[in-house]
Amino acid sequence: MNFVPKPNDIAGIIEADRAHVWHHLSQHKQYETSDPPIMIEGKGLRIWDAKGREYLDAVAGGVWTVNVGYGRESIANAVRDQLVKLNYFAGAAGSEPGARFAQKLIEKMPGLTRVYYSNSGSEANEKVFKMVRQISARHHGGRKSKILFRERDYHGTTIAVLAACGQPQRAEQYGPFPEGFVEVPHCLEYRNQYPDAEDYGLAAANAIEDVILREGPDTVGLLCLEPITAGGGVITPPKGYWERVQEICRKYEVLLHIDEVVCGLGRTGTWFGYQQYGVKPDFVTMAKGVASGYAAISCTVTTEAVFEMFKDNPSDPMSYFRDISTYGGCLAGPAAALENMRIIEDEGLLANTVSMGERLDGNLRALMEKHRVVGDVRGKGLFYGAELVADRTTKEPLAEAKVAAVVAKCREHGVIIGMTNRSLPGLNNTLCLSPGLIATPDDIDTITSAIDRALAEVCG
């Protein structure tokens, strides 16, 4: 496949975009003198821009979303068929694809029983916060309303979820935020904040208990964590961390919320990232990979125990979860999600993610041997980060501008990778990789070869 643009058509698209579109995460001053990036077509892991340039997409749509690759006609057909049959009805009523996908999803999540639909990861996470606040009001006399979140974790873009943002630059200029959100320390062993501890995983988890005790266990209702920190630097939890975290939550009756917006639906080689660590959460949220970007959908999944707290007194008009998501009623989402899940199952993409992840890990560690600027490699499945440093001994982070230059060089060489950026003051120095679950050995080698070349060109 080779996309060939029609010059006249493309020129008009570029000018219309420049004149009218406000791009995400973009400083538009640059587009006064250069063309904005416009993507036109995709197939598999390849994508073509408006100028006909081909790229291998190593970040699944730029934001860890297109898990099963571009150009899946079967998903498009499933969406089309559902929209013709019934495109929408408010989520106060059920639907055929909604019921079927919920059943399929719960089969993959032992211990969880209920699915609440909405349309973005931010919204799914905010649903949890609202549920916890309502549980606090109805069952704890307004106590146990505090929500703990972790340094370097990220949960979305609304004001409420930004109140639970562990990445200061993402939240900067958007305050004041709602009260009752409290940060706990990160668990990145490479930047060990407990050098005297014999067991880093235990020390990092116990730091959460310290915060609970400081705040008062009777005031803390929820702990919200990513299974693997994503945009904060692809941080895999240290050994023993999750086991201790779960013990702490049970000890103090703190509900555990796992944000799987990035890791969910196969990214780490299991259906969900938390399943790598034997955790039994009370809430799980997901979005991006649920339908691989073919339709908007997110899910807030809970235990039956949580669900029962909203139906214990039917005579109380304030007892049910009084929430709505307009586009949680659009049936394109669950229709696409059903076909997305079928593809993952039928094509053995979980197993492929494990094997290709092992290849990616090996290739990145070979780059670490070759380039001293690579200070640390971490990840699981097809979700990896390489932290770049100016000095391995001191672990001084490589300047964000240089990391961005590496990303730009990779793009010049036909590979799109990601990085932490404008998130963590002084620590935006991690290259981020999350190719689609359909990646082949050649794809993995192409990605790491581009990084190898870019590191040599930028860092010597």
Q: What is the pLDDT along the chain (460 residues), one digit of tens a residue?
A: 566 656 668 888 998 999 999 999 999 999 999 999 999 999 999 999 998 999 999 999 999 999 999 999 999 999 999 999 999 999 999 999 999 999 999 999 999 999 999 999 999 999 999 999 999 999 999 999 999 999 999 999 999 999 999 999 999 999 999 999 999 999 999 999 999 999 999 999 999 999 999 999 999 999 999 999 999 999 999 999 999 999 999 999 999 999 999 999 999 999 999 999 999 999 999 999 999 999 999 999 999 999 999 998 888 888 999 999 999 999 999 999 999 999 999 999 999 999 999 999 999 999 999 999 999 999 999 999 999 999 999 999 999 999 999 999 999 999 999 999 999 999 999 999 999 999 999 999 999 999 999 999 999 8
- Close Cβ partners of 66 (under 8 Å, ≥ 6 residues apart): 42, 57, 60, 292, 293, 436
**Which pLDDT score is estimated for 431?**
98
Check if CATH label 3.40.640.10 holds for domain 74-346.
yes
Domain ranges in the chain with CATH number 3.90.1150.10: 7-68+348-459
Query: What's the alpha-carbon Rg for the chain, to the nearest Å?
Result: 22
What pLDDT score does 314 carry? 85
Biggest CA–CA distance in the chain, Å, is 71
Give residue 187's identity as a one-letter amino acid code: C
Q: What pLDDT score was predicted for residue 208? A: 98
- The CATH 3.40.640.10 portion of the chain extends over 74-346
| 69 Cβ contact partners less than 8 Å away, ≥ 6 residues apart | 42, 43, 44, 45, 292, 436, 437, 438
Tokens standing for residue 139:
């069952």
Residue 12: the pLDDT is 87
Q: Does CATH place domain 7-68+348-459 in 3.90.1150.10?
A: yes
Closest CA to 361 of 447, 259, 429, 420: 447
Predicted TM-score (pTM) of this structure: 0.96
Order of strands, edge to edge, in the sheet holding 146-150?
A: 114-118, 298-302, 283-286, 255-259, 220-225, 146-150, 181-184
Q: Which amino acid is at 391?
A: D
The dihedrals phi and psi of 184, each to the nearest 5 degrees, come to -115, 160
Match 């972790």 to its residue by tokens.
150
Looking at residue 4, what is its pLDDT? Answer: 60
* pLDDT recorded at residue 11: 87
Tell me the DSSP string of 231-261: TTT-BPPPTTHHHHHHHHHHHTT-EEEEE-T
Closest CA to 406 of 337, 333, 460, 348: 460
* pLDDT score recorded for residue 6: 64
Q: Give pLDDT, residue 42.
A: 98
Angle, CA of 353, 79 and 47, to the nearest 5°: 50
Look at residue 9 in the predicted model and tell me its pLDDT: 82
User: In which residue are the tokens 């993507």 written?
Assistant: 39
